Amino acid sequence: METSPDALIDGFSSESTVIRAIREIGYGSLAGMVSKVFEHPFDLTKVRLQSQVLDATARFSGPIDCLTQTWKKEGVRGLYRGLPAPIVGAMAENASLFLTYGEFQNAIRLVTHRPPEEKLPLYHLALAAAGAGAFTSFLLTPIELVKCKMQVQMLVNPTGGSSRSLPGPISVLASVIRTTGIRGLWLGHTGTLIRETGGTAAWFSTKEYVASLLLARRHRREVNDSSVPTSANSTELRPWESGVSGACAGAAFNLALFPADTVKSAMQTEEELRPTTGRNGPKPTFGGTFMAMYRAQGIRGLYAGCGITVARSIPSSAIIFLIYDGLKKQFG
């Protein structure tokens, strides 16, 4: 029996849709917050390595040197410098990603006349994920701008005393608005848009693909080996399956379009690290910064910090999906 478009629309606009949206926001927020606390020192290292590509003399020889110097000069507070902004960002990012990912899937089902609960093919899931990433990039750019500026503060004034005296996220946000206006909060947005659109498509589609392989593997074992207990629900992921598929997704996200993130970080820290460049010339553009970084250090410069980013994104993404899938399984 074919489901009519009107019935689909009624299903999507029901009260259960609102409840589902609230749950998606809650699950995504909690998962993002926990993962960000774990990964922040590594993200700080990535941003600092990216921001030095256009410097005449590099401050750090690599990720280990950056972590070591930060620990020695700034202590634990230094490793978590700028954490409030990414905590808010992670909550907003993951809540937005999971919510809009589901809504874009619903929109695709409406267009293709599929039943509400039908699993979409992988290419449709990738399209829904790309839409979710593009939407989320608009929320994320101002938060990442504040985060990046805070993460290089001690590099600008390493002898300025305790990090307690440095401006916090509200002060940095107010300073940006005061000097560049509201529009200035979206400096580097092109890089965020490219990274989130392509990266999120890779993130969700990789997770879905690996999860489907793990589910198929489990099903084959249950069919072929009578000693293996049969799952109550063959479509629900076990915790380790969520973790493994999430880990693969994390690596895919960052490998997909990492240079876009490098250019974004350089643009967002230009004023702090190379203020004379910004004052004497036009505002940096994505294309101009990309070419300057390529001329300075080639492909290697565009992938500055990629190794440590992929290394931290594997457990971080595993944590996100482990928490998200677990909450969804427990509470629906």
The model scores a pTM over 0.75: yes
Weakest mean pLDDT among 14-23, 41-50, 82-91, 97-106: 14-23
Predicted confidence at residue 3, as pLDDT, reads 47
Going along the chain from its start, the domains and CATH numbers come out as 5-209+240-331 (1.50.40.10)
Please report which confidence band the pLDDT of residue 76 belongs to, taking 50, 70 and 90 as the band edges. Answer: confident
Do the beta carbons of residue 188 and residue 264 sit within 8 Å? yes
Q: Quick one: pLDDT band at residue 12, thresholds 50, 70, 90?
A: very low
pLDDT tens digits along 86-132? 788 888 889 999 999 999 999 999 999 999 878 899 999 999 999 99
Q: Give the residue ranges of DSSP H helices in the chain.
A: 5-12, 15-51, 63-79, 84-112, 122-151, 153-156, 169-180, 189-224, 239-256, 258-273, 275-280, 286-302, 306-331
Q: How far apart are CA 171 and CA 174, in angstroms?
A: 5
Is 90 exceeded by the pLDDT of residue 219? no
Q: How far apart are CA 148 and CA 173, in angstroms?
A: 12
Is there a contact between 46 and 269 (Cβ–Cβ < 8 Å)? no
Is the pLDDT at 74 greater than 90, yes or no? no
Give the mean pLDDT of 136-152: 91
